[in-house]
Amino acid sequence: MYLKYLLVLVYYVALIASDHEVAETYKQRRDVLLGRERGMRLGSDVILDPYEEIVNKQLMKNKKEEMAGYVSGAETFPPGHSFTEVKEDIEKSKVYKFIRKMPKGGLLHLHDFALTSVEWLVLYATYLPHCYLCQHQDHHYHRFVFSASKPINNKECVWSLVADERRNFTDGTKAFDDMLIKSILFGNSKIVSSRGNTSQIWQYFEEYFFSVTGLLLYNPVFPLYVYEGLKELWQDNIQHFEIRASLQQTYSLSGRHSSPRTVLQQYLQGIRRFQELHCHLCRVQLIICLHRSLPAAVIKRKLYEAAHLQRMYPGLVAGFDLVGHEDGGRSLLSFMPELKGSRLPFFFHAGETNWQGTATDENLIDAVLLKAKRIGHGYAILKHPAILEEAQMNQIPIEVCPISNQILGLLDDLRNHPASSLIASNFPIVVSSDDPATWNSTGLSHDLYVIFMAVAGVHDDLRLLKKLAQNSIRFSSLSIFEKEKLQDDWISKWRIFIENEAKSLCINNTQLEMDF
Amino acid sequence: MYLKYLLVLVYYVALIASDHEVAETYKQRRDVLLGRERGMRLGSDVILDPYEEIVNKQLMKNKKEEMAGYVSGAETFPPGHSFTEVKEDIEKSKVYKFIRKMPKGGLLHLHDFALTSVEWLVLYATYLPHCYLCQHQDHHYHRFVFSASKPINNKECVWSLVADERRNFTDGTKAFDDMLIKSILFGNSKIVSSRGNTSQIWQYFEEYFFSVTGLLLYNPVFPLYVYEGLKELWQDNIQHFEIRASLQQTYSLSGRHSSPRTVLQQYLQGIRRFQELHCHLCRVQLIICLHRSLPAAVIKRKLYEAAHLQRMYPGLVAGFDLVGHEDGGRSLLSFMPELKGSRLPFFFHAGETNWQGTATDENLIDAVLLKAKRIGHGYAILKHPAILEEAQMNQIPIEVCPISNQILGLLDDLRNHPASSLIASNFPIVVSSDDPATWNSTGLSHDLYVIFMAVAGVHDDLRLLKKLAQNSIRFSSLSIFEKEKLQDDWISKWRIFIENEAKSLCINNTQLEMDF
């Protein structure tokens, strides 16, 4: 009789023990899998020192607090909405403020005509003498030009001096300038009205460039435009700049246009002034780019010219790219006759599309086969497992520009950005801002914020941000020697930043000090 | 002197030859890479017979014609916009019409209360006697109940007989019924107003279920509801159905509630009627599911009950799942104490989120570790390279429900759906429609259309569609014997479909006939 009870007891004990064992094994297996995935993430190989650990702890506390409201749905998640609608919300974030202060290394994908804030252009350039404005009542678009005499009116344009328009504006000078700024910026209404139709969006987008070129390409403006742009980016704590430069001709009051070499000289004027006044260790490089709509003969000639300019200014000219709406233009493959002879390093825009199997989508194949040093956007890369493998193996980084992709209609909610998968599998990426001035952003902080909060996961921490800064140096076009100098400079800036952050935290927070 | 010219000539000939060779090599390398990618795509292993080739040719002609307008931006691309806005545009497409006619195999992820069109519910069920309607003037929501006596009013609800309301409706019977249908459906205004906030969207979404359950769970309605739903799906050319069944209690006029076993019997009534009248070879299986908000003790008891029901109805009950808003509910890991003892096959919803690193996102890990037979949605899987590998290795398919993901706020433009990457890498997927009746869809055709036009690439053809049908049979929960029978039935239907299509094309188009 007792034996029966004893047997039942032994059975239950064995059952509980086996259950416990199962649970243990499950937890272990889960941890292994989870650990394997965590170890595959971009930044997982970064080791933080004790100061960085303190700073990271606070950063993640802020991130988690902010995310809690978003994940629960209690608060609107800014990267889920168009940047033009949520810019101010982002700027209130503690995480954003931290990122803004962080030394970021390089900004490697940035277009020449969206370098400097529209506000500066309006407040400086339109105040110069001889600045004419064209207003078209129907389309509300603006063109500017500096001219010794009044340009001739036509159906499209009625020209007047900006100074006269400003004086006669009923609501006053500030309202006039604000109106000008608003009319130039690529605003939300244009994005909403053409949702998902990238051809339509690109038409509006190119309007921005038509508006600003008349202002910034004026000889007395251009070097200052370059200087001011670099200064604004430097204020966002960026140390190195690679600018996609179209080398469009600058012009004088009499309408005489400069040669590409003169434009390079004007770049150098702006760069030197910036280096002297703000950052003598900062470096600037140009990636000469041509619009993909240009005729083949022009492309061939300009490529030859670009190669010549690179030989003349080897430290300044880094390589070559083709720009413009990729879906609307010629494919890289179709440029093969022009490209194949060139020895210029390539930095191609490729796969900036959400179509699959089209010529634009296949540009990714040619970018890799043409041994591009980096790929601009590469938005379609997840649809190309073989290219993904090739690019990872050969460490061809993707220049990820999340806000640009959103504004130019590829996706709405940035949580769906393909870079989330690239971050999860330690793919070499650099974060860039493409055309920040166009949508009233500056530098890299907004893009890094959306990467950190929406494209990366809730557990990604300071190690990801540090890795992205390191990548931006590693994948820059500088010579090895210059790269080392940039790295040293960045490391010293990073140390100061981290120590200051840690100290201010320790002063404000004894708990953190004790932990340390 | 001549020697000099000769040397120059030889040099240029050599240059042209080497250029030619370079071009050849480039093209070869490009074709290899492109071919490798094409060979990695889902459906690339399908071989088409001559009849299928004819049909495919016409299908791709139609697809390319339709895509041309979309890619150029001349026409609005329907899958780039909310399904509720573009349903009618989709239905005009020749590609859609083809897909609608296609024998599709199985529909494996489909919820019980969104099985049958709302139109049928309103036009049939609300016309039965004793049907009461609750109207709340502020929130415009509706509840229905069948009751022998008038239910008691409260702050939320003022009850009245549907028959009376219909008779008194000023705009007539049809307008009244249309109003009822519209008020039940999960409409566009609700989706727009809560854009990107899935918690908010799910609140509206669950309103739908509160509206319909009073109608469909009425004893005289339920078997007919099941019959009618299966008939509608069968009219969409689906042969096998796996329904996520909550087994909620049905009720009588006196308010008496039925046991789960009785509910299963009612299912069987509906199924048998459907088999007898329409398709004796069609099969239906139930995946019993519980709401993730239920208390642990209830889950445990219900799991035990589900296992019991599976033993009683082994051909009908296929397994178990947890449902409800995944982001808003408990994680799979937290259910471990209840789940670990169960021997039921699991078909978990997992990773139906665009957050990364949250408990919902990590549900994917537990779904794989708990050896789920299939994973519902798996929307977050691209952010999990290790899970992706495990699932591919063990051939755990993802039930992809693109329109559901769009409507429930995970993404806007379906070109960004993660399944595009899964299709590109031959990951095992099945396409499903989740809750089609909720958004006025039927069966699988709309979802297959968006997969074919937006999630897949422009070159994906009949082979992808055939593969998806084959996958839906291969990954069904049927026994090997039943699976073979289903497959034979599908093959014969597929042959008839293809032959009919090919013949009608050959009659209409002598060119195609000549090609054949």
Taking residues A345-358, what's their average pLDDT? 96
CA distances from A75 to A64, B1, B90, B198, B416 (A): 13, 84, 34, 12, 25
Taking residues A383-404, what's their average pLDDT? 97
Taking residues B2-23, what's their average pLDDT? 61
Tell me how close the Cα of A420 comes to any Cα of chain B, in angstroms.
6
Taking residues B425-444, what's their average pLDDT? 96
Look at residue A516 in the predicted model and tell me its pLDDT: 43
Any bridge partners for residue A291, and if so which? A323
Taking residues A351-377, what's their average pLDDT? 96
Tell me whether residue B21 is one of the annotated catalytic residues: no
Query: In this complex, which of A33, A198, A458 lies closest to B357 when CB atoms are compared?
Result: A458
Contact A168, A162 (CB under 8 A): no
**What percentage of chain A carries pLDDT values higher than 90?**
83
Mutate to test the interface with B, among A346, A355, A361, A390 (most CBs of B within 10 A): A355
Residues of B in contact with A390 (CB under 8 A): 33
Interchain contact, B26 vs A369, CB within 8 Å? yes
Residues 6+ apart with CB under 8 A from A457: A41, A420, A423, A424, B355, B356, B357, B361, B383
> How far from the centroid of its chain's Cα atoms is residue A386's Cα?
26
Q: Of B189, B215, B144, B167, which Cα lies nearest the Cα of B407?
A: B189
Any bridge partners for residue A257, and if so which? A251
Query: CA B413, B416, B418 angle in degrees (round to 5)?
Result: 135
CA distances from B319 to A226, B245, B399 (A): 65, 10, 15
If you write DSSP's letter for every residue of A63-101 in order, what string do you get? HHHHHHHHHTTSS--GGGS-HHHHHHHHHH-HHHHHHHH
Strands of A369-412 (E only): list them.
375-377, 398-400
Tell me how close the Cα of B331 comes to any Cα of chain A, in angstroms.
14
Contact B422, B400 (CB under 8 A): yes
Tell me how close the Cα of A203 comes to any Cα of chain B, in angstroms.
11
Taking residues A381-406, what's their average pLDDT? 97
* Average pLDDT over chain A, rounded to an integer: 92
Contact A387, A365 (CB under 8 A): yes
- Catalytic pick from A119, A352, A399, A501? A352
SS (H, E, C) B59-97: HHHHHHHHHHHHHCCCCCCHHHCCHHHHHHHHHHCHHHH
Taking residues A335-354, what's their average pLDDT? 93
CA neighbours closer than 13 Å in the CB half-sphere of residue A502:
19
Look at residue B7 in the predicted model and tell me its pLDDT: 64
Look at residue B281 in the predicted model and tell me its pLDDT: 94
Residues of A in contact with B390 (CB under 8 A): 33
Contact A43, A467 (CB under 8 A): yes
pLDDT above 70 for A512: no
Interchain contact, A383 vs B424, CB within 8 Å? yes
Q: What is the pLDDT of residues A155-187, one digit of tens each?
A: 888 999 999 999 999 999 999 999 999 999 987
B436 pLDDT band, cuts 50/70/90, is: very high
What ipTM does the predicted assembly reach?
0.92
CA pair distance B296, B281, nearest whole angstrom: 39
Taking residues A229-248, what's their average pLDDT? 97
Domain boundaries, chain A: 86-112+221-476, 129-184
Tell me how close the Cα of A390 comes to any Cα of chain B, in angstroms.
10
Residues 6+ apart with CB under 8 A from A479: A315
Mutate to test the interface with B, among A12, A20, A71, A205 (most CBs of B within 10 A): A71
B513 pLDDT band, cuts 50/70/90, is: very low
The amino acid sitting at B6 is: L
CA pair distance A163, A127, nearest whole angstrom: 7
Q: For strands A398-400 and A375-377, give the pairing.
A: parallel
CA pair distance A243, A115, nearest whole angstrom: 8
Residues 6+ apart with CB under 8 A from B263: B222, B247, B248, B249, B250
pLDDT above 70 for A11: no
Taking residues B84-111, what's their average pLDDT? 97
pLDDT above 80 for B293: yes
Interchain contact, B196 vs A412, CB within 8 Å? yes
Interchain contact, B327 vs A71, CB within 8 Å? yes
- Structure-token pair, residue B36: 């490798």
- Classified by CATH at the fold level, domain B86-112+221-476 comes out as TIM Barrel (3.20.20)
pLDDT above 70 for B216: yes
Radius of gyration for the alpha carbons in chain A, expressed in angstroms and rounded: 26
CA pair distance B444, B238, nearest whole angstrom: 8
CA pair distance B248, B302, nearest whole angstrom: 11
Q: What is the pLDDT of residues A46-94, one digit of tens each?
A: 999 999 999 999 999 999 999 999 998 899 999 999 999 999 999 999 9
Order across the sheet with A142-146: list the strands.
A142-146, A131-135, A158-161
* Average pLDDT over chain B, rounded to an integer: 92
Taking residues B498-504, what's their average pLDDT? 95
CA pair distance B321, B315, nearest whole angstrom: 17
CA distances from A439 to A86, A117, B462 (A): 12, 9, 43
- Structure-token pair, residue A4: 């029966």
Taking residues A349-361, what's their average pLDDT? 96
Look at residue B21 in the predicted model and tell me its pLDDT: 54
Block residue for tokens 């990636």? A287
pLDDT above 50 for B32: yes
pLDDT above 90 for A244: yes
Burial per residue of B82-96, b for 16 or more beta-carbon CB atoms within 10 angstroms, e otherwise: bbbebbeebeebebb
Mutate to test the interface with B, among A197, A338, A393 (most CBs of B within 10 A): A197
Contact A468, A448 (CB under 8 A): yes
Q: For strands A283-291 and A317-323, give the pairing.
A: parallel
Interchain contact, A420 vs B26, CB within 8 Å? no
Determine which of A9-13, A466-470, B237-241 has the lowest per-residue pLDDT on average.
Answer: A9-13
A352 pLDDT band, cuts 50/70/90, is: very high
Collapse the DSSP code of B219 into the 3-class scheme (helix H, G, I; strand E, B; otherwise coil) and give the result.
Answer: coil
Taking residues B23-36, what's their average pLDDT? 89
Residue in A closest to B412 by C-alpha? A412
The amino acid sitting at B44 is: S
Look at residue A513 in the predicted model and tell me its pLDDT: 47
Model's pTM, two decimal places?
A: 0.93
Q: What is the pLDDT of residues B305-321, one digit of tens each?
A: 999 999 999 999 999 99
Q: Of B366, B359, B302, which Cα lies nearest the Cα of B329?
A: B359
Taking residues A113-130, what's their average pLDDT? 97
B516 pLDDT band, cuts 50/70/90, is: very low
- Structure-token pair, residue B498: 């293809």
Block residue for tokens 């960026």? A238
- Structure-token pair, residue B351: 């990773």
Tell me whether residue A53 is one of the annotated catalytic residues: no
Higher pLDDT, B19 or B269: B269
B135 pLDDT band, cuts 50/70/90, is: confident
Q: Of B316, B329, B371, B327, which Cα lies nearest the Cα of B348?
A: B371
Taking residues B162-176, what's their average pLDDT? 96
CA pair distance B128, B117, nearest whole angstrom: 17
Look at residue B250 in the predicted model and tell me its pLDDT: 98
Q: Rounded to 5 degrees, what are φ and ψ at B268? A: -60, -40
Residue in B closest to A454 by C-alpha? B355
Block residue for tokens 């927070």? A509
Look at residue B14 in the predicted model and tell me its pLDDT: 61
For the beta carbon of residue A497, count every other beta carbon within 10 angstroms.
Answer: 16
Q: Of B451, B454, B435, which Cα lies nearest the Cα of B443?
A: B435
